[in-house]
Amino acid sequence: MISKTDGTAALLQRVSAEGQKLPLEERRNFLKHGLLLAGGVITGGALSANARAAAGNLPPNVPAWTRSLGPGVLTEPYGKPSRFEKHIVRRNVPWLTADRIASISFTPLAELDGIITPSSLVFERYHAGIPDIDPEQHRLMIHGLVDRPIILTVDDLRRFPGTSMIRFLECPANGGMEWRGAQMDALQFTHGMLSCCEWSGVLLSTLLQEVGIRKDAAWILAEGADGSHMSRSVPLAKAMDDALIVYAQNGEPLRPEQGYPIRLINPGWEGNTCVKWLRRLEVGDQPWYHREETSKYTDLLADGRARKFSYEQECNSVVTYPCPEKPLTEKGRYEVRGLAWSGKGKIKRVDVSFDGGVNWRPARLKGLVLPKALTRFGLEWDWDGGPAMIQSRAVDETGYVQPTYTQLREARGTNSIYHKNAIHTWRLHENGKVTNVQIR
Ligand SMILES: Nc1nc2c(c(=O)[nH]1)N[C@H]1C(S)=C(S)[C@@H](COP(=O)(O)O)O[C@H]1N2
Ligand SMILES: [Mo]
């Protein structure tokens, strides 16, 4: 059994391991609570029926699982989560699309910690379902305004010098339902077209060096091998900067859902430009104006003109705890947590408001702070049991400040679907429940 002092040491260790400098007074409050839990409050009336039935497993008893041997190695040759975590899954919004072939599923952001999205939980977006590609039969063709057109196998690609980067990927339609006025009562649906993985592959610039681009080259068309032949025009500058042809995700081969065996990643740019199941790169001197950059993924402004090639995912953030899926249970001290990200670079600062944007408090950035990656923030807060309007507002290293809905609508009008990055509000009720509201 863990003694009170062991528990205290572990807590202190955790606080210092995260490099968090909490004022002494705040530390003491956390610790007091920890001691209370260890000291027996756990036997109080708040236990569920299930927990009461299992009381034989609670201190000071020796739990059942400690008195027997468990299944051995290779019980799951490819591992899977604990059976107690079955609720952590991707979900869709049935009314959003006519079928599940041209559709979307959402990342369960409320259930995740840190910044990496487990591959199995990365949101999916397909225009024609998932193609079942045999990597032996898959090819990447690079042609157009190049000196040496080439057809590469996946093994050929792996022979080039490779690199890895942790980058977020967000569909520009993320939050689109909110922008249009729908109030989705789950973080999974308000912000879940969002993921962050470690991507491994070859810089597109390395491949372009290999084929030699002609003087008038200015654009690259990327085309997928799925039934939709989804394609996007990418400016040469992005291709020469940080665009990556990836074959691996979070350390293992890409998942079929994410573009197996190879896909394009344009860090910080609309997920739509990150063409999956990549089969063709054509170098040209102008954009192609295909479907996904004309009738879709453009932003109709109030005056009838449309923003086009609005590639960058601008600075955004959301509180992930509390949220509708994770209500508060009792008043007292909590760490309010969230995610911030910017397609322009690193997150510089996040502020949190508990009164709908009247007063702001700076949050701490936690763990890795990487460019164009999800960034964790946290802030200690004493909930007095009253109602609150919880918001987060992120600033990136370029100085760009996440806008309010009012500011965003003033700039873009009310026709848009894509690129909603307005400050989000969670309404905390006195019973600890959290609902979705738009207030300014
Ligand atoms: N070939 C192909 N690439 C594609 C798509 C597609 O349907 N076909 N969907 C795009 C869209 S709209 C988005 S938001 C991202 C989603 O990536 P994910 O499914 O890995 O989350 O892939 C993009 N790449
Ligand atoms: Mo998308």
Q: CB under 8 Å, gap of 24 or more: what pairs does 407-412 form?
A: 412/299, 412/301, 412/302, 412/307
Q: How confident is the model at residue 181 (pLDDT cuts 50, 70, 90)?
A: confident
Which positions ≥6 away from 158 have C-beta within 8 Å? Answer: 247
Q: Is the pLDDT of residue 114 over 80?
A: yes
Chain centroid to Cα 193, Å, comes to 7
Q: Is the pLDDT of residue 83 over 80?
A: yes
CB 265 less than 6 A from any atom of ligand 1: no
CB 275 less than 6 A from any atom of ligand 1: yes
Ligand nearest to the backbone CA of 131: 1
CB 232 less than 6 A from any atom of ligand 1: no
Residue 154 φ/ψ, nearest 5 degrees: -65, -40
Q: What DSSP element (H or E) covers 352?
A: strand 347-353
Lowest-pLDDT choice from 211-220, 270-279, 295-304, 377-386: 295-304
For range 233-255, the mean pLDDT = 98
Give the pLDDT score at 440.
82
Give the pLDDT score at 3.
35
Name residue 236's amino acid.
L
The CA dihedral of 152, 154, 158, 159, to the nearest 10 degrees, is -40
Q: Is the pLDDT of residue 352 over 60?
A: yes
What's the residue count for the chain?
440
Crossing angle for the helix pair 4-17 and 24-38, to the nearest 10 degrees:
140
Q: Is the pLDDT of residue 81 over 50?
A: yes
Look at residues 268, 273, 269, 254 and name the one whose alpha carbon lies nearest to residue 375.
Answer: 268
For range 211-225, the mean pLDDT = 98
Give the pLDDT score at 199.
98
CATH topology of domain 100-307: Sulfite Oxidase; Chain A, domain 2 (3.90.420)
Distance CA 430, CA 328 (A): 9
- For ligand 2, the distance from its centroid to the CA atom of residue 350, given in whole angstroms, is 26
As a whole number, the mean pLDDT across the chain is: 90
Q: How confident is the model at residue 46 (pLDDT cuts 50, 70, 90)?
A: low
Q: Which two tokens stand for residue 120?
A: 């199995």
CB 271 less than 6 A from any atom of ligand 1: yes
Give the pLDDT score at 39.
37
For range 292-320, the mean pLDDT = 95
Give the pLDDT score at 53.
60
Instruction: Please measure the distance between the N-terminal and C-terminal CA atoms of the chain and give it in whole angstroms.
Output: 51
Percent of the chain topping pLDDT 90? 84
Q: How confident is the model at residue 47 (pLDDT cuts 50, 70, 90)?
A: low
Ligand nearest to the backbone CA of 176: 2
- Domain definitions of the chain by residue range: 8-66, 100-307, 316-437
Look at residues 371, 373, 372, 349 and name the one whose alpha carbon lies nearest to residue 361.
Answer: 349
Look at residues 202, 239, 232 and name the one whose alpha carbon lies nearest to residue 217.
Answer: 239
For range 209-213, the mean pLDDT = 98
Lowest-pLDDT choice from 6-10, 202-206, 298-302: 6-10
- For ligand 1, the distance from its centroid to the CA atom of residue 108, given in whole angstroms, is 18
For range 45-50, the mean pLDDT = 61
CB-CB contact of 225 with 122 (8 Å): no
For range 167-174, the mean pLDDT = 98
CA of 297, closest atom in ligand 1: 12
Query: In 10 A of CB 23, how many CB atoms?
Result: 9
Tell me how far apart the 2 most distant CA atoms of the chain are, in Å: 76
Name residue 51's amino acid.
A
Q: How confident is the model at residue 246 (pLDDT cuts 50, 70, 90)?
A: very high
CB 230 less than 6 A from any atom of ligand 1: yes
Instruction: Look up the CATH architecture of domain 316-437.
Output: Sandwich (2.60)
- For ligand 1, the distance from its centroid to the CA atom of residue 179, given in whole angstroms, is 21
Q: Which of 119, 127, 419, when mutated, tests ligand 1's pocket best, judged by the most ligand atoms within 8 Å of its CB?
A: 127
CB 127 less than 6 A from any atom of ligand 1: yes
Query: In 10 A of CB 210, how many CB atoms?
Result: 15
Look at residues 40, 35, 32, 47 and name the one whose alpha carbon lies nearest to residue 4.
Answer: 35
Which segments within 161-193 are labelled E, that is strand? 163-170
Q: How many CA atoms lie within 13 A of 45 on its CB side?
A: 0
Which segments within 158-238 are labelled E, that is strand? 163-170, 194-203, 219-224, 231-235
Q: How far is CA 327 from CA 39, 113, 357, 430, in A?
A: 25, 16, 21, 11
Q: Is the pLDDT of residue 239 over 60?
A: yes
CA of 276, closest atom in ligand 1: 3
Give the pLDDT score at 9.
36
Q: How confident is the model at residue 182 (pLDDT cuts 50, 70, 90)?
A: confident
The CA dihedral of 280, 283, 286, 291, to the nearest 10 degrees, is 0
Q: Is the pLDDT of residue 154 over 90?
A: yes
129 three-class SS: coil
CB 412 less than 6 A from any atom of ligand 1: no
CB 124 less than 6 A from any atom of ligand 1: yes
CA dihedral over 174, 178, 182, 184, signed as positive or negative:
positive
